[in-house]
Amino acid sequence: MLTRRLSLFATLALSFLLVSGAQAADTVRLATTTSTYNSGLLDYLLPKFEEDHPYQIQVIPVGTGKALRLGRDGDVDLVLTHAPAAEKAFVDADYGVEPHGVMYNDFVIVGPSGDPAGIDGGDDATSAFATLAGQGATFISRGDDSGTDKKEKHLWEEAGVTPDFEGFRAAGQGMGEVLKMASELQGYTLTDRGTWLAMKDKLDLKIMVEGDTGLFNPYQVILVNPERYDGLNTQGARALAEWLISDEGQDLIDAFRLNDKALFHASAGEKVDPTSAVHESD
Amino acid sequence: MHELMNTTREALYLLLSLDPALWEIIGVSFRVSLTAILVALPPSLLIALLLARVAFPGRWFAISLVNTFMAVPTVVVGLVLFMLLSRSGPLGELRLLFTQRAMILGQILLAMPVLTAMLHSTLQSIDQRAWETARQLGAGWWQSLWVLLREARFGVIAAVLAAFGRIIAEVGSAVMIGGNIEHFTRTITTAIALETLKGEFAQGLALGLVLLLLALVLNVLLGVMRGRGHQTVSV
């Protein structure tokens, strides 16, 4: 009886090992930002990658802070994020290796159509932010350490404002929730264009400021350092990263449309410099 | 493991060094939940009294209904309230969404079924003679009610503690209708969710420890109450 149980247990344990082993070999875990995920880009790209490669990609959408943390802890095989300064620190500390610029997208400032602060139609993000603070306008901030949040903090800094004015609300939630909140409270917010396009039909908001180079947003793909952790699928992660910056991946990124609008601009080969157009500080 | 030890040490340090941001969040949680309990208690008591003492057709169904509401997931309460309070909803004019008042409202809805169900079973188990004796001795309706409640006091406290434990530990409706706004509607549970998202595990763990400690205190109190309650019944 006992031996039967033991052998059953051993069989189960062995089959479990085999299954999980098999899974580890062809699964690649990618941590990315909620805004990338919400845009639908990965749903469009990854099946095309999986067609030609023996890997399955599991996407974990979180804020940039958490994505890099997952990489640091060896919980994922690679990250796709948009916070140059934090990414530079991540690579400098040897948590990540082989960083590559993949693409750009941009941010827009949105607000209620009544535009109580009077910033509509501007093309200078910094002065728009200064006006919002001066007016004490309702402004919903991500406040969650995401790439978008870091971007916003940088814009306040550029505008020479400490964001503690009447009407400033740090929500500590994802882009979708913050947009809903801005719509409900009829306030302003900074959003990536992808989430905005995906949600704008449900919102009582419109674009106020866009097109400023200071609102551009570079994405990098970075492998988690295989020397720090055993059991990472570095081979699969590298295959994905190299495919993203290959001609095929880059053309697909350029061809991606959301509501008939191009969202991302392929930029492989361009170095992402943490002090460049999207200068951003922590 | 090493990481876990470090994080725990950091969390304890944050708590014991009276980190102001941390204690502000704890304050919001307690303020909102205590207010909700205070508002929810009188109507719950009234409903429980009706269910326990007044025979009316469909009473058993009303009791089942209260027990059913106990099982409603907090996110569903959050969603329904969100739809009611939203700008496009019927109560949008009140501008309550993403305020502490909205959170209190949500927690009242979550606390009432727990309070009502537990109060009902307490009041039912109280010796019927308490009420009748009081009435026969010429006590008025209110006085008799007071006698009844004095008899049931341990059950009432147990109900309050259980309901409080439920609403202070829930995250679903708090984040949906409160919005997790810093210095305003950020509570222990919504902050834990956020800090985890940010990868700031020590902050999250410190707040988690507060909830754990609270649960321990509440359960010890409940245990004491139950024991005392039984003693008074058996005497």
* DSSP H or E stretch at residue A271: none
More confident residue, A11 or B64: B64
- Which range, of A204-208, A270-274, B127-131, averages the lowest pLDDT? A270-274
Q: How far is it, in rounded angstroms, from Cα B179 to Cα A181?
A: 8
Q: How far is it, in rounded angstroms, from Cα A136 to Cα A181?
A: 17
Terminal-to-terminal C-alpha distance of chain B? 52
Given a cut of 80, is residue A232 above it in pLDDT? Answer: yes
pLDDT of the residue at A281: 32
Query: Cα separations (Å) of B106 from A150, A156, B39, B109, B170?
Result: 32, 35, 12, 5, 11
Q: Please state the rounded mean pLDDT for residues A169-180.
A: 94
Q: Please state the rounded mean pLDDT for residues A153-164.
A: 95
Q: Please state the rounded mean pLDDT for residues A76-82.
A: 95
Query: Cα separations (Å) of A24 from A19, A57, A222?
Result: 9, 11, 19
Q: Please state the rounded mean pLDDT for residues A176-191.
A: 96
Query: Cα separations (Å) of B229 from A38, B37, B120, B152, B155?
Result: 54, 22, 15, 8, 7
Q: How far is A3 from chain B (nearest CA, A)?
A: 35
Looking at beta carbons, which residues of chain A come within 8 Å of B98?
169, 181, 184-185
Q: How far is it, in rounded angstroms, from Cα A114 to Cα A185?
A: 13
Given a cut of 80, is residue A269 above it in pLDDT? Answer: no
pLDDT of the residue at B46: 94
With beta carbons less than 8 A apart as the criterion, state whether A68 and A87 touch. yes
Looking at beta carbons, which residues of chain A come within 8 Å of B188?
none
Q: Give φ, ψ of B155 to 5 degrees.
A: -65, -40
Using DSSP's 3-state secondary structure scheme, residue A162 falls into coil
**Mean pLDDT, chain B cut into blocks of 10 residues (235 residues total):** 84 88 93 97 95 90 94 93 93 93 97 96 82 84 85 90 94 93 94 85 90 90 75 44
Q: Please state the rounded mean pLDDT for residues A164-183.
A: 94
With beta carbons less than 8 A apart as the criterion, state whether A251 and A262 touch. no
Neighbouring-strand partners of residue A81: A220
Given a cut of 70, is residue A111 above it in pLDDT? Answer: yes
Given A144, A183, A186, which is nearest B194 (Cβ)?
A144
| Chain A contact probe: residue of B83, B176, B180, B195 with most A CBs at under 10 A | B180
Given a cut of 60, is residue A216 above it in pLDDT? Answer: yes
Among chain A residues, CA nearest to B177: A181
Q: Please state the rounded mean pLDDT for residues A145-157.
A: 92
With beta carbons less than 8 A apart as the criterion, state whether A223 and A238 touch. yes
Q: Give φ, ψ of B19 to 5 degrees.
A: -50, 115
| Chain A contact probe: residue of B194, B195, B196, B203 with most A CBs at under 10 A | B194
Using DSSP's 3-state secondary structure scheme, residue B93 falls into helix
Cβ of A173 within 8 Å of Cβ of B179? The answer is yes
Structure tokens at B77: 């309460």
pLDDT of the residue at B146: 86
Beta strands in A46-193 (DSSP E): 56-62, 78-81, 96-111, 139-141, 168-170, 189-192
A243 band by pLDDT with thresholds 50, 70 and 90:
very high
pLDDT of the residue at A184: 96
Type of residue found at B14: L
Given a cut of 90, is residue A10 above it in pLDDT? Answer: no
Q: CB contact, 8 Å: A239 with chain B?
A: no
- Residue of A197, A121, A182 lying closest to A152 (CA atoms): A182
With beta carbons less than 8 A apart as the criterion, state whether A242 and A223 touch. no
pLDDT of the residue at B186: 95
Average pLDDT of every residue of chain A:
88
Given a cut of 70, is residue A95 above it in pLDDT? Answer: yes
pLDDT of the residue at A15: 53
Looking at beta carbons, which residues of chain A come within 8 Å of B198?
63, 65-66, 144-145
**CB neighbours (10 Å) of residue B224?**
13
pLDDT of the residue at A1: 53
Pairing of strands A27-33, A78-81: parallel
- Residue of A116, A113, A74 lying closest to A97 (CA atoms): A74
Using DSSP's 3-state secondary structure scheme, residue A97 falls into strand
Helix H segments across chain B?
2-16, 20-53, 59-70, 74-85, 100-125, 128-136, 141-151, 153-168, 172-173, 188-198, 201-234
Render the burial of B154-177: b for 16+ CB within 10 Å, e for the rest: bbbbbbbbbbbbbbbbbbbbbbbb
Q: Please state the rounded mean pLDDT for residues A60-81.
A: 92
Q: Give φ, ψ of A50 to 5 degrees.
A: -70, -25
